[in-house]
Amino acid sequence: MTRLWDRGEPLDRIVLEYTAGEDHLLDDRLVAYDVRASAAHAAMLHASGFLSSDDLAALGTTLARIGADHAAGAWRVSLEEEDCHTAIENRLVEACGEAGSRIHLGRSRNDQVLAALRLWLKDALETLAGAAGAAADALDGLAAAQGSLPMPGYTHLQRAMPSSVALWAGGFAAELRDDAAGLRAARRRADRNPLGSAAGYGVPVLELDRGHTTASLGFSEPHVPVTAVQLSRGKAEAGALFEAALLGQDLGRLAAELCLFATAEFGFVRLPPELTTGSSMLPQKRNPDLFELARGRSGEAAAALFEVLAVTAKLPSGYHRDLQLVKKALFRGMDGVLATARLMAHAVPLVRFDGPRMAAALDDDLRLAERAYRLVQESGVPFREAYRRVRRDEEA
């Protein structure tokens, strides 16, 4: 086994375990993307005259098989390999011999890592946006089924004005769709092709076609100049996590309100048994654990965002090994919000609002603002005067 940076010298096991960290585990999700990027790079080398047709065919066939075998669970990245890039190239060399050794021409592990990560991030942002949309759709369905039920609207956790299930659900649905739009907009920084920047300063002597890999991998443009590529590390990740944090916050607020409404004191919401858990001590208890956990996990992406910003802050230009640490935070933050969005899309249709209980909470005080508006409409007095008259009448 040869690592991409290996100079044939022994490596201390403790050093290997510390420097590799969890990359060999994290990289399982990047294998398919590195296979795609490697195939595109090989095609570019062939088009530029650096790889024969036979070598290209052998590499393409082998890369496809390596990716398929990994997807089927036939192999996983080992600690000794450190990452998916070494794991894939070792298998290429083993299967294709000299052709496998030719594929690294004109690239560094730095741009190779970024290419796979950006391809993954583009897909991950779209997946998360889709999950946010599905949760919004679930709220639309709830509004269609129960939207006509009146309920109090609150400010400062005090009853304020009449509202309805449709208004309540519609507000959350609109914000979730706004979050989805933000996630899709965050693809911009991930949509630039890093291949060809190599170790951060381009590829001397060789005339490589960065436009070729840009088009074949579906990037919008090459990332230029090459010195900007390493300086950008963490920015696409931070942008994605920021938008994910906003989604997590909205999902957390939705979960928090369902927890509140499900209390005996409110009683606005009835949760079916499949959405609750029991108590180990109290026979009467049914607890909204899943919504409590969704509320608690709403900060995961925000925490991951701060971790990414802390890693990249004040780093000089060029590549630094610190940047490896961004990957774990990115995956953890995105995964947590995705799990919560999918949970809410599943759980919201099962929520039932208690119409009589909510109607009983709609006392006449909640219509005072409406009375003031009607007074303005009917008599033409300024709103402040109408406000004072309604208040005096109520206090009398």
Write out the catalytic residue numbers.
156, 279
Strand partners, 152: 162
- Which sign, positive or negative, has the C-alpha torsion 145, 148, 151, 156? positive
Dihedral over alpha carbons 191, 39, 108, 87 (to 10 degrees) = 110
Cβ-in-10-Å burial (0-12, 13-18, 19+) of 394 comes to: exposed
Give dist(CA 228, CA 194) in Å, integer: 9
In the chain, % helix, strand, coil (3-state, to 5) comes to 65, 5, 25
CA 65 to chain centre: 29
CB 176 within 8 Å of CB 139: yes
Give dist(CA 355, CA 268) in Å, integer: 8
Give dist(CA 138, CA 361) in Å, integer: 26
